[in-house]
Amino acid sequence: MSIEIEVKIKVVELHGKAPYKTVLIHGGPGAAGSLNNCAEELNRLTGSGVVEALQSRYSIAELIEELYLQIIKYCQEIPTLIGHSWGAWLAVLFAGKYPKMCKNIVLVGCPPLADKYVKEISLRRLRNLSDEERKIIQRVTDNVATGEDMTKIPGILEKCGHNPFMEKYAKEEFYNILQDIIRLPV
């Protein structure tokens, strides 16, 4: 005996009112809703509607087409795409297929677009650490870290570039830059 269940997945969050001039594309994949605060703030700052595109498909081709349909349905003019992390990659892939469907693209926390740069991420972060801190990271990676090692992890992560204090100022700068890119009055 089999039972079929229809599941409805919400594929966008609309912030503000039309015209929707900006589309936010979340990271993850699987981090749907992670740009909600950003969408609300952009709507507040610009007075224009923001589409928070939520991903529900499982292949890159399907995700690109889903984004296309979201833009066609909700945007009355060609929007600026803002992609975060994995969403930045999706924005680039979308712009490659539909270059006339995006006014601008903004890549936030974009992973490397070329394989040769991937190894540089970890190397750059590790260069900020002492030999002892690198050994602690290795023990965590090898799953043999001690309780004392774990108490040092927050400080080590901050040295690697995970600093909430700096993120606050980066976010303020990000919104200032976006206002210029989107060319909307504050």
Q: Which domains does the chain possess?
A: 10-111 (3.40.50.1820), 114-186 (no CATH)
Question: Which range among 5-9, 11-15, 68-72, 166-170 shows the weakest confidence by mean pLDDT?
Answer: 166-170
Angle at which helices 60-74 and 86-97 cross, to 10°: 80
- Mean model confidence pLDDT for the chain: 81
DSSP string, 173-186: HHHHHHHHHHT---
pLDDT band at 132 (very low <50, low <70, confident <90, very high): very high
Name the residue with higher pLDDT: 7 or 119: 119
Q: Which residues of 130-162 are buried (b: 16+ CB within 10 A; e: fewer)?
A: eeebeebbeebeeeebeeebeebeeebeeebee
Q: How far apart, in Å, are the Cα atoms of 115 and each of 109, 111, 120, 124?
A: 16, 10, 10, 15
